[in-house]
Structure 1
C-alpha cells in the first residue's frame, strides 16, 4: 500500500508595511508607542527624537529634542511624560519632557551612555540603565534619584519594572546575565549568569 504524506504545505508569509516613516538620518535605536496606539516616538543616532502620527503617516509638528546619540525612548502609561536617554562614553544624557507644556528637565547622575529606560505602571517612577554599569530610579515629578545606583556586573542593556514597581530587572548588554533588585531595600534578590569582563569598564565596544 502506498504511503500517504501527511506533511502540510507551508506558504511563505510576506508582511507588507502599511506605513513607512521617513526622516531620521542615522540608525534608529529605540521606538515606543503612545498608549493610544495612534502615535509613536523614535530615537536615533542622528541626535534627535521624533514624534509621529501613525494615522497621518508622518512626523508631527512638535519640536524635536536635540541631544547626543539617542539610545532609549519611552512614554508614560498616562501619556504625560516622554523620556529620552543617550549620550556617549564621556557623558550621559537623560531627559524628561512633560507633554502638555513641553517643559523639559535633565536628570543628572549617570556617567556614560544611557541605553535603556522604563516607566512604572503608576507613572511615578523612571528607571534608567547605563554603560556606567549601574541602574537608577528617579521620581518623574521631581526629577530626583530615589533609589540606586544598583551596581551591575556589566554594562546595562535592558531594564524593566515589575507591575507593582517593587522589583527591577536588569539585563547585561551582552544578554549573558540577568539580575533582579528589590527597589525598597536596594538589595540584589537574584543573579543568573555571569558577565564581568573588566575590559569594558573604560571603553565599551559595540
Structure 2
C-alpha cells in the first residue's frame, strides 16, 4: 500500500480541530477547534492568515459550515449557540440561542436562506438566516444529533445519531418536520458521524462501529 505524505502541516490550534471548510475560488481553508477559535490558512504555504477569529465568551467549537456563496461561516459550540461569521471582516454578525446542549453539526440549505443545526439536546432546528429565528424545531428522538444534512433540493433533512441501532438515521420533511423514513440498518451498534446525499437524492451514511462485549 502506498504511503501518503501531507503536502502541508499547519500548526496553531491548541485544541482538537473539529471541522474544515474550503473557500471557493481561493487557495484557503478555515478550521475550527476546541480551543474556541477559527483560523484561516494559506494552502500553498501552510501559514495562518492573520489572527484567529474569536468571539467573547465563546466556548470550544464543535462544528462549522460555509454558506453556498462562501461569504458566511456558521459555527456551533459547547455553549449551545450558533454564530454567523463574516468571512471578509472575520467578525460575528449573528448569534442564535435556543439549543440546550452542544451544537455538534450544521448545514446550509442550497439557497443559503436557512441553516439546520443538530444538538446533543436531541433536537434539530432550522433557522431563518435573515431573521435569526427558529422556523422549525424537530424533536428527533435521538439522544444526541451528531450530524444533519439537507438533501440536494433542500426538501428533506437527514439526521444521524449514536448508540441506536434501529433508528440511527432518520429522514424528515424539511418544511413540516414530518418523519418520512427511518432507514433500516442490520449491522452492529454504531455512531453515525457523517451523511451524504447523492445528486439523485439518495442518502449514504458513514458510521463508526462500536462493538459490544
TM-score range normalised by the length of the shorter chain: 0.7 to 0.9
CA shift for structure 1 position 142: 2.2
TM-score by length of 1: 0.80
| 1:157-182 deviations in Å (ceiling 9; x for gaps) | 01100111110000013474100010
CA contact (8 A) 2:81 2:98 kept: no
One of 122, 133, 157 as aligned partner of 1:133? 122
What is aligned with 1:162?
Answer: 151
CA shift for structure 1 position 37: 5.3
What is aligned with 1:7?
Answer: none
Aligned residue for 2:160, secondary structure, equals: strand
What is aligned with 1:111?
Answer: 100
After superposition, where does 1:1-206 map in structure 2 within 5 Å?
12-36=1-25, 38-66=27-55, 67-87=58-78, 91-101=79-89, 102-174=91-163, 176=165, 177-192=168-183
What is aligned with 1:204?
Answer: none
CA contact (8 A) 2:101 2:120 kept: yes
Unaligned runs of 5+ in 2: 190-213
User: How has the CA–CA distance of structure 1 residues 107 and 59 changed in structure 2, closer, same or farther, with 3 Å as cutoff?
Assistant: same
User: How has the CA–CA distance of structure 1 residues 63 and 21 changed in structure 2, closer, same or farther, with 3 Å as cutoff?
Assistant: closer
What is aligned with 2:207?
Answer: none
Q: CA RMSD in A?
A: 2.0
CA shift for structure 1 position 62: 5.0
TM-score by length of 2: 0.78
User: How has the CA–CA distance of structure 1 residues 78 and 175 changed in structure 2, closer, same or farther, with 3 Å as cutoff?
Assistant: farther
User: How has the CA–CA distance of structure 1 residues 98 and 190 changed in structure 2, closer, same or farther, with 3 Å as cutoff?
Assistant: same
CA contact (8 A) 2:38 2:52 kept: no
- Equivalent-residue separation in structure 2 for 1:161 and 1:70 (angstroms): 21
The count of corresponding residues between Structure 1 and Structure 2 is: 181
Aligned residue for 1:156, secondary structure, equals: coil
CA shift for structure 1 position 69: 1.1
CA contact (8 A) 1:157 1:174 kept: no
CA contact (8 A) 2:34 2:62 kept: yes
